[in-house]
Amino acid sequence: MSDTDVRPAFQSSDLMNMVRGGGVDIVPAGEFATEEMILNIGPQHPSTHGVLRIVVELDGEVITRAEPVIGYMHRGAEKLAEFRDARQTLVLMNRHDWLSAFNNELGWTIAVERLAEIEVPDRAQWIRTMFAELNRIMNHLVFMGSYPLELGAMTPIFYSFREREMVQDLVESATGARMHHSFARVGGLKDDLPRGFLKRAGEVLAALRRLLKEYDQLIMGNEIVFKRCRDVGPIHPNIAIAYGCSGPTLQSTGVAMDPRKDTPYEKYGEVEFEVPVGEHGDSYDRLWVLVQRVRQSCDIVEQCLDRLPPGPYRTSGLLNKAIKIPEGEIYIRTENPLGVQGYYVVGNGKKEPY
């Protein structure tokens, strides 16, 4: 066998020969012939959230092609909404993304309110802005813990879920639910804030700010995370835009697109915050953007607490009333925790949208 020859694939007979003491030929250094391998990532169990399957082709350890297969959790929410009024549709919105429940329902209520020209009290808008950011913090903390876990770093998830539990308990004290809040209403909110909420929220924010400093060392300064994420999966800004990326994925490429800044809704036009952006658009920058977004969300929540006015928390007479959506159409977009979510609503003068 010459130095340029390539040994055929390892056979079971070679193993038996080794067991009998015969040994096998040593493959000389050089370029190996490899066969493409198809690998299925997922689908996860149907009971999990956000089920996805990716069919990848591998050449050794290099992914040469990836084909996402979606639709495992498709329930036809758009069609279901045609047979429900605005209040009932709110329940469907919660389930678009289980980790972004309040942001989902908020976008729906804003779309209906604008189409029906319903004015929402200032207090309700400030509270809804605050809860959208608390929901964003809870969402990002899940990713900040589970992301390193997939890379082999086990410690961060215990810290992130500890902090997330503080925020979740705070939200639950007002909404009554841990997952599907159904707290927003067309015209305002289901209830006002409970007694002692503002003080408790301030304590949670102070704890979060203190603990986020640990995350810089625990996650972003983690050698495992850095080596396995830096320069992995980089996305060019033009490609990200062409493929419709948004949220942390787009922001990690250096594009500061955020509906909260570009087309402010609720009270986002009255608070100060920055849109963090990355430089490389790789896996490390995407995680870095998540961490920075949590810091910005803390700033927004603090401003909401400081500027929360007295007054009604909902428009009078709308809580238990089925609203007739006037004829017309509207499209709005909101910055959900993982990206832009759009709502296109067509009214036909009936209780149920078309």
Angle separating helix axes 101-116 and 86-94, nearest 10 degrees: 150
SS3 label, residue 107: helix
Residue 33: predicted pLDDT = 62
Choose between 81 and 72: higher pLDDT.
81
Q: How confident is the model at residue 352 (pLDDT cuts 50, 70, 90)?
A: confident
Lowest mean pLDDT among 113-127, 217-231, 254-268: 217-231
Query: Mean pLDDT throughout 137-156?
Result: 87
pLDDT digits (tens, 9 = 90+) for 120-134: 999 999 999 999 999
- H-helix or E-strand spanning residue 118: none
Record the tokens describing residue 152, joined without a space: 């082999």
Domains of the chain: 12-69 (no CATH), 81-345 (1.10.645.10)
Choose between 217 and 123: higher pLDDT.
123
Lowest mean pLDDT among 92-96, 101-105, 225-229, 276-280: 92-96
For 342, other C-beta atoms within 10 Å of its C-beta total: 13
Residue 311: predicted pLDDT = 94
Q: Compute the radius of gyration of the chain from its Cα atoms.
A: 25
Distance CA 308, CA 298 (A): 15
Query: Mean pLDDT throughout 54-83?
Result: 86
Distance CA 303, CA 293 (A): 15
**pLDDT at residue 334 greater than cutoff 50:** yes
Angle separating helix axes 283-307 and 197-215, nearest 10 degrees: 160
Record the tokens describing residue 266, joined without a space: 């609720």
Query: Mean pLDDT throughout 350-354?
Result: 82
pLDDT digits (tens, 9 = 90+) for 158-214: 988 999 999 999 999 999 998 889 999 999 999 999 999 999 999 999 999 998 888
